[in-house]
Chains A and B, each alone.
Chain A
Amino acid sequence: MGGRVSGIEISHVTKAYGATPVLDGVTLSIADNEFVAFLGPSGCGKTTLLRLIAGLEEVDAGEIHINGRRVDQLAPGARGVAMVFQNYALYPHMTVADNLAFGLKNVGVGKAEIETRIAEAARILEIGDYLHRKPGELSGGQKQRVAIGRAIVKKPDLFLFDEPLSNLDAALRMRTRLELAQLRRRLKATMILVTHDQVEAMTLADRIVVMKDRKIQQVGTPMEIYTRPANVFVAGFVGSPPMNILKVELDTAGPVAMAKLAGGVFKTGVVSAGLPASSDWRIGLRPENVHIAGSGDGLAATVEFVERLGERTLVYTKLADGTAVTAEDAGTSKVKMGDPVGLRMDAEAAHLFDGEGVGYHAPEVEG
């Protein structure tokens, strides 16, 4: 048994379609039983990376190892992976049971074993009642379960999910997300989810891989990504509404950086030592760190739009110089469009981004 390396190792993987590069030297390690989400905008290369792992595309350069075995030159079926497709890709002319059995028959699993595995998957996913129906007779949510069932029965080393919830309506998506989280706990398997929906990534994954322009921008736990974005792209991409990014002048003479804005000087939590020399600093503040105060208190702004979400109110404002800033107020907020307001900022929660877009944050609080 000894010597088996668990998990997925992706080293320097490069891929291009003709002259168009799609992935550029991607390197990533995924631990055994870890749930990782590839998150990024359309065209960032996340789906291609998933397809390379599955073997549906060939790598141009680099290596992929699954549990210590190099797989990038193996046939897709020999890699020990199972994939759940965005549009389910169930075989329409086969019953649910036949859909589940198809892959097992192809590798010579015995009839009794196939029946046991289908029964087990049907129990986990509660699809026992429609094993003899065809996919056309199922709802979107049921098809989704069958697609997951087809992956489960194979007992793969790695589950791949390609935007599995994107075809479901909002209510069903939320329920399926919850079920996926429960399933994951039950199966204890390594899983990769591709999504452009940050809520999916944040709620399901142990770690998120944020991608943009063919490269990995940051790998971290959901809260690391949220609270310590590696760069200005991650800061703006993760979080809804997005982080406010404002140009600032930085004073690093003291122990912590002081940010100079039109409405005053704010003490950030970012330690001055170690900050590079840059003339192009930006400050990043999440809407929950910008509060509505009375007019004349804090940064002067005008309310452009108010979004009442019930438990809180999002207030979209504009500063005198035209910079848009989103603030958060109580659910009972009385502000209206056109009101002059003041913005109070929790500057100690601010992030700083240098001219290259690299992020700097306040030190993590222990315990």
Chain B
Amino acid sequence: MTASDNKRLRDVALLATLVVLGFIMLVPLMWTVLLSLKSNSDLLQSTANAFHGPYTVENYAAITKSSGVFRWLMNSVIVSGLQTIGVLVLASLAGYGFARLEFPYRDQIFLLVLFGLAIPEQAVIITRHQLFTGLHLHNSYPGLILPGLAAPFGVFLMTQYFKAIPKELDEAAILDNASRFKIFWKVLLPLTIPAQATLGIFTFLGSWNDYWWPLISATRADMFTLTVGLSASQINFAQTSGLGYLMTQAVFAAVPILIVYIIFQKYIVRAVAGAAIR
């Protein structure tokens, strides 16, 4: 066997392995979609019915009429969207400050921010709950959004990114009569778009999938996010009846995230690959 035959064989083996692994990962998703397309009564007999017809969209029709899933979807979009925007704005400004400005105790403050990375949510949840109770912020959008804005990882990422931009660009802009804000806004910030995309995606996904804080803070059904809402539905149906309906809700929950993935695929791959290299 020649060297090129060997390589070809290796490539085929690798491809076959990846296809099998990919298929295994897709099985639960396909299972969810299949179940969502079956009537609840069919599934009550046996979930194996999902492998053959008849298929129906009655669950999708029902979800638009009776469930709170649209409200939860909207809540999730609002909370995740605003949290992402907030994190990007704050982390960019803080990153620029730490990377470019000189102020007293800058390095110590940066270290303090980094300490935030080491503190788990569990350690602060009770105090945070008490604080938000005192501020009457539970069951409100600010109550759901504000805790996620403290993003030490984001500040760290943006600081490192700003530091990597040559200072000559700032100096060229200074000589071009640009104000400090203009240098930040017009010269440096556009160069951080790859970092912003990475941070934005991770923040959005993290916020979208967050379960614990919304579960604690949102006690009214109209303020549930999608994760909390679906979980509440699951308890109601106990997976004994209405399984198709439940799976339809899951598909609904997954669609926005799928869209985000498709749009930002390039950046997600780059971000994950970058993290792996580091």
Contact = CB atoms under 8 A, between A and B. Distances in A.
A77 interface: yes
A82 interface: yes
B184 to A, nearest CB: 13
Contacts of B175: 54-56, 76-77, 81-83, 103
13 contacts: A55-B174, A56-B174, A76-B171, A76-B174, A76-B175, A77-B174, A77-B175, A83-B171, A83-B175, A85-B168, A92-B191, A103-B176, A150-B172
B177 A103 contact: yes
Contact of A87 (B166, B178, B182, B190): B166
A286 to B, nearest CB: 38
A332 interface: no
Given A92-B191, A106-B177, A107-B177, A85 B182 contact: no
A110 B174 CA distance: 20
Contacts of A82: 175
A93 B172 CA distance: 14
A89 B191 contact: no
Contact of A91 (B171, B172, B174, B177): B172
- Across the A-B interface, the 9 shortest Cβ-Cβ residue pairs: A103-B176, A77-B177, A89-B168, A89-B172, A106-B177, A93-B190, A85-B168, A76-B174, A107-B177
A89 B178 contact: no
B173 interface: yes
B191 A102 contact: no
B232 interface: no
Interface string B159-177: 0000000101101111111
A76 B173 CA distance: 10
Interface of B: 166, 168-169, 171-178, 182, 186-187, 190-191
A145 B171 CA distance: 19
Nearest to B176: A103
A91 B187 CA distance: 7
Q: How large is the interface on A (under 10, 10 to 19, 20 to 34, 35 or more residues)?
A: 20 to 34
Interface of A: 54-56, 75-78, 81-83, 85-87, 89-93, 102-103, 106-107, 150, 154
A90 B171 CA distance: 11
A89 B177 contact: no
Given A83-B172, A89-B171, 14 more contacts: A55-B174, A56-B174, A76-B174, A83-B171, A91-B172, A92-B191, A102-B173, A102-B178, A103-B175, A103-B178, A106-B178, A150-B172, A150-B176, A154-B176
Given A77-B177, A106-B178, A85 B171 contact: yes
A106 B182 contact: yes
Contacts of B166: 87, 89
Contacts of A92: 191
Contacts of B174: 55-56, 75-77
Nearest to B177: A77
A69 B172 CA distance: 22
A325 to B, nearest CB: 44
A90 B187 CA distance: 10
A93 B173 contact: no
A106 B169 CA distance: 15
A89 B176 contact: no
Contacts of A93: 190-191
Contacts of B178: 77, 102-103, 106
A75 B176 CA distance: 11
A90 B182 CA distance: 16
A77 B166 CA distance: 19
Nearest to B187: A91
A87 B171 CA distance: 12
Contacts of A81: 175
Contacts of B190: 93
A28 B144 CA distance: 64
A157 to B, nearest CB: 13
Contacts of B191: 92-93
A75 B177 CA distance: 9
